[in-house]
Amino acid sequence: MKHPIVLGLQYGDEGKGKITDSLAKQSEWVIRFNGGSNAGHTLWVNGKKLVTHSVPSGVLYSHVKNYIGAGCVLDPVSLKKELAEISQSGSALKGERLRIDSRAHLTLPIHIVLDAARESGSKSIGTTRKGIGPTYTTKMDRCGIRVGDLFESGIQDKVRFLCDTYNAMIRAQDLSESSFEDNWKVVELAQELLREHVASDPTPFYDIAKTHKCVLEGAQGVLLDLDHGTYPYVTSSNTLPSAAAAGTPFPLSRLGAVIGVAKVYMTRVGSGPFETELDNEDGERIRAKGGEFGATTGRPRRVGWLNIDELRLAVRLSDCTHIVLTKADILTGEPVVKALNKGSLKEFPCWKSIYKDDSRTALSAELESYLSYVETEAGAKIVGVGTGSDRADFFWRGETPDFWA
């Protein structure tokens, strides 16, 4: 058996959470492999909204176990809040239902101070200010704190060394330090919160992947990839399918379909190039209709037309086998729909309705013809279309693929 990876083909917020949740129904494990509390994945079920940040989007199914891989970073304060919200939604994530790799790195107050300091300078990236970049920095610098360290005797020394090393840099910039005591408080919180969830088995998926259906859930998107995205306006982790193998103990040969999620238009939060950006009333209208405000920070998202040149690049970089195009409903009734392809902006007649008729068994001719154009030009089949925010608002174009073949 092979297992699908769900990832974003644009600048994040494509609707990965919703697709992951729908695949979770048939799965036994949902596994996150990158990012941390910078992610915000929205799930709507029967009028109730839940946003996952560090926790995988398999939370709403009680039969699903969720795994946070070593490639992720974890902020204990943010996780505590997230677990409380999940619990309020009626889905308690006790012990076995949430496993956290003991090798994942912790985001502590000092990382958040470093992120804010870096962002307040003249070359800001427009980060989520969740301490993500600095957490990956201290990981690479080999002085980060891992989940497993919390339960070892040398933990005090490690936290002290981290604070001493990085406070020296903070002091050099005349900024206020993050005290050992502030960081230690979060370490103590983490010791209490994480104990029941720690997974130290180095190769759990070697056997699990033979018989149990898994979904690997990416955060951010291909164009925000640290190496292949629009550097320096990127996140600090890899977002391509290879990160699913690097950031988890999941056997490479068991990774299969790559389900790339893209919006029918585009959004971006934070700084960086955006060729098709609509900095006008069209952009404002689509932002309002699409509710384009960050799920994590609440920031208004920049909005623009679909860039098929970038979509083709993302399909190639990710070796995407199936595209899911979300938010088709948001453009319904627009005078025209536009997309950039081979360097020029093209215009298409927009669909007046998603479906051909009330039977909802086929898409309208205009939407079908637009989808055919996009998939041919992008180089991967559009297998499904998002028709609204609820779990049920989805149309499989043709037979539902078997993603675990």
Q: Mark the segment that binds ligand IMO (CB under 6 A) among 54-62, 130-138, 144-152, 361-369.
A: 130-138
Nearest-CA neighbor of 327 among 273, 367, 272, 372?
367
Hey, is 78 helix, strand or coil? Answer: helix
Q: Which residue, 225 or 329, is less far from ligand GDP as judged by CB?
A: 329
Q: Where are the beta strands (DSSP E) in 320-376?
A: 322-326, 336-341, 344-349
Token code pair at residue 331 = 């453009």
**Residue choice 100, 113, 159, 269 for contact with ligand IMO (CB under 6 A):** 269
The crossing angle, in degrees rounded to 10, of helices 109-119 and 132-140 is 110
Among 58, 109, 133, 384, binds ligand IMO (CB under 6 A): 133
Residues that bind ligand GDP (CB under 6 A): 8, 12-18, 40-42, 44, 291, 295, 326-327, 329-330, 386-389, 393
Among Mg ion, ligand GDP, ligand IMO, none, partner that 44 touches (CB below 5 to 8 angstroms by kind): ligand GDP
* Interface residue with ligand IMO, options 247, 270, 283, 386 (CB under 6 A): 270
Judged by CB under 5 A, the chain residues 211 through 270 that form the site for Mg ion are none
Half-sphere exposure (Cβ direction) of 309: Cα atoms closer than 13 Å: 10
Is residue 13 a contact residue for ligand IMO (CB under 6 A)?
yes
- The position carrying tokens 């952009």 is 283
Q: Could you give the residue numbers annotated as active site?
A: 13, 41
For ligand GDP, give the closer residue by CB, 11 or 403: 11
Instruction: Choose one: 81-89, 119-127, 318-326, 393-401; the region binding ligand IMO (CB under 6 A).
Output: 119-127
What's the closest the beta carbon of residue 297 comes to ligand IMO, in angstroms?
A: 7
Whose Cβ is closer to ligand IMO: residue 56's or residue 249's?
56
CA distances in angstroms from 130 to 143, 158, 296, listed in the order given: 19, 21, 10
Query: 297-321 as b/e, with b when 16 or more CB fall inside 10 Å?
Result: beeebbbbbbbbbbbbbbbebbebb
Task: Please choose which of Mg ion, ligand GDP, ligand IMO, none residue 326 contacts, taking the beta carbon within 5 to 8 angstroms, the exact cut-off set by kind.
Answer: ligand GDP
Residues in contact with ligand IMO, shown as a per-residue x/- string from 67 to 106 under the rule CB under 6 A: ----------------------------------------
- Confirm or reject binding of residue 386 to Mg ion (CB under 5 A): no
Q: Which two tokens stand for residue 328?
A: 């088709």
**Residues between 7 and 66 with contacts to Mg ion, criterion CB under 5 A:** 13, 40
d(CA 339, CA 136): 35
End-to-end CA distance of the chain: 6
Strand, coil or helix: 357: coil
Comparing C-alpha atoms, which of 267, 385, 379, 224 is closest to residue 312? 379
Binding to ligand IMO (CB under 6 A): which residues in 211-240?
219-221, 224, 235-236
Q: Which residue is nearest to ligand GDP (CB)?
A: 386
304 binds, options ligand GDP, Mg ion, ligand IMO, none, Cβ within 5 to 8 A by partner type: none
Contacts (CB under 6 A) with ligand IMO, residues 285-324:
295
Q: Looking at beta carbons only, is 13 or 82 nearer to ligand GDP?
A: 13
Residue pair 366/351 in contact (Cβ under 8 Å)? The answer is: yes
Residue 298 vs 398, nearer CB to ligand IMO: 298
What are the C-alpha distances in Å from 110 to residues 79, 103, 123?
17, 19, 20
DSSP string, 233-284: SS-SS--SHHHHHHTSS--GGGEEEEEEEEESSEEE-SSS--TTB--SHHHH
User: Which pair of structure tokens corresponds to residue 97?
Assistant: 């239902």
Which positions ≥6 away from 321 have C-beta within 8 Å?
A: 257, 258, 259, 380
Q: Closer CB to ligand IMO, residue 8 or residue 384?
A: 8
Identified binder of Mg ion from the candidate list 295, 325, 337, 382, rule CB under 5 A: 295
The residues of the shown chain that bind ligand IMO, judged by CB under 6 A, are 8, 11-13, 35, 38-41, 125-128, 130, 132-133, 219-221, 224, 235-236, 269-270, 295
Residues near Mg ion, by CB under 5 A = 13, 40, 295
